[in-house]
Amino acid sequence: MSDVNNTLDAVQIAAHGMVTDLADVLVRGHLKEHPSLVAYRLGVVTGAAEQVRTVVKAERATGRWPHAAADPALDHERDRAAFAAHHCDCPYCPHAL
């Protein structure tokens, strides 16, 4: 497996864990897992976000991209609704039946 694939897998797993951590905080008001494990996941996710944010900033500065055709918030909401409607039996899917 390539370094890129390993990195993407690491971020995917950390992001999924972070969603679970957020659910714990929102529903229970506390974490279910050790704070050090949660902090590690947050570091992986925020590191990835910063890497992408740096490229977003650089690409916006080039002026190469036209104005976005759609409202990013509406586009995101459409994707969220499609995700919420999804069901499968995959062990990694939060919507597993």
Provide the residue range defining the domain that includes 46: 3-65
Q: Is 47 exposed, middle or buried (0-12, 13-18, 19+ CB in 10 A)?
A: middle
Residue 94 has pLDDT above 90, yes or no: no
Q: Answer yes or no: is 19 within a domain.
A: yes
Say which range, 4-8, 20-24, 65-69, has the weakest mean pLDDT: 65-69
Report how many domains make up the chain: 1
Q: Answer yes or no: is 80 within a domain.
A: no
Could you tell me if 11 and 45 are in contact, meaning their C-beta atoms sit under 8 angstroms apart? yes
Q: Answer yes or no: is 97 within a domain.
A: no
3-class secondary structure per residue, the chain: CCHHHHHHHHHHHHHHHHHHHHHHHHHHCCCCCCHHHHHHHHHHHHHHHHHHHHHHHHHHHHCCCCCCCCCHHHHHHHHHHHHHHCCCCCCCCCCCC
Q: Answer yes or no: is 88 within a domain.
A: no
Average pLDDT over residues 43-51: 98
Q: Alpha-carbon distance 60 to 66, whole Å? A: 9
Average pLDDT, the chain: 93
Number of other residues whose CB lies within 10 A of the CB of residue 75: 12
Residue 88 has pLDDT above 90, yes or no: no
Q: Answer yes or no: is 77 within a domain.
A: no
Instruction: Name, of 15-19, 36-40, 89-93, the range with top average pLDDT.
Output: 36-40
